[in-house]
Chain A
Amino acid sequence: MISDIVNVIFCLGNCVLLVNLRRMRLEKCWFCSSTVYPGHGVSFLLLHVFKGYITLLLLKIFHFCRSKCHKNFKMKRNPRKVKWTKAYSRLHRKDMTQDSTFEFERKRNRPERYDRNLAENTLKAIKKIDKIRSDRASDHIKNRLKTGKVQRQKEARKQLELGIHLVKAPLALAQDSSLCLPKIKVNVSQAQTEENQPMEE
């Protein structure tokens, strides 16, 4: 991780103001994967030190968007098992996992030299790519829910038929039968029944 320490020196007349600006980056909450905007959330720095003859150091930073995620982390819950997190939905294929639009959001540690045109184009592209990505994600969910749609409609119709007395008073239904659900007429072709022949002796 390259930390960019930016020192901005403002000269106000005779005095010099030295301002240290921290990196402003939109992080992802470690637990629920929502974006953590600057000024929000808590960052937890875990420095794993192996104290022996050789000291090995691993710095891991966890960002949390709100205390809900932070508390769940402290409870040692695995986000892949907690149903409301993105980690769970991606693992259980409820959300779109592979798409070319994700490539644009990959973290790059190489700082880019500021170019006005590049910055302008990037801002325009961000909007467009975001729209495409969210459209594709919602399509993915829509397709996933399509298979259950017919079943759900059948269940809903059945429930309405059974519970019509909750919707309309039975007396009103009896008086005016047009308030019922229209019954679908199905033509059934029946073979002509033979007349009852007396048993042959």
Chain B
Amino acid sequence: MIQPQTYLNVADNSGARELMCIRVIGASNRRYAHIGDVIVAVIKEAVPNTPLERSEVITAVIVSTRKELKCDNGMIIRYDDNATVVIDQEGNPKGTRIFGAIARELRQLNFTKIVSLAPEVL
């Protein structure tokens, strides 16, 4: 349940460390974002000497939330933190490595590149 003002971790090596959600992409008054939703975020903390800088506005896709994800097969997954992967307008990740386990739902949402880079897919 990510909404504007939510701070999120970054699960890739794009250069950003921490993002703050500004907008949930979808309907005009969409309240919350879950795993697989795209958000617009501003970088609050970045790794020095990388192309991404602090206070830059970027799009990201949410890959893990503390709110449970209810899968179609009945499985319920809950993560320990809220994390995102920085993407560009087409949906390709800006980084080259993904950290952590990624839920299989992202594959259905056409984030195949992220799923293929992930070390573990659940």
Binding site for B on A (CB under 8 A): 1, 3, 5, 20, 22, 38-47, 49, 51, 55, 57, 59, 61
Contact = CB atoms under 8 A, between A and B. Distances in A.
Contacts of B104: 5, 20, 22
7 contacts: A1-B120, A39-B74, A42-B76, A43-B78, A44-B77, A47-B101, A59-B120
B2 to A, nearest CB: 17
A49 B78 CA distance: 16
Interface residues of B, number: 24
A38 B81 CA distance: 24
B76 A20 contact: no
Given A44-B80, A47-B100, A49-B99, A38 B74 contact: yes
A59 B76 CA distance: 17
A45 B68 CA distance: 11
B79 interface: yes
Most buried by B among A5, A20, A55, A61: A20
Nearest to A24: B73
B101 A5 contact: no
A39 B99 contact: no
Nearest to A57: B99
Contacts of A41: 76
B44 to A, nearest CB: 14
Contacts of A40: 74
A78 to B, nearest CB: 19
Interface in B16-74: 17, 64, 68, 71, 73-74
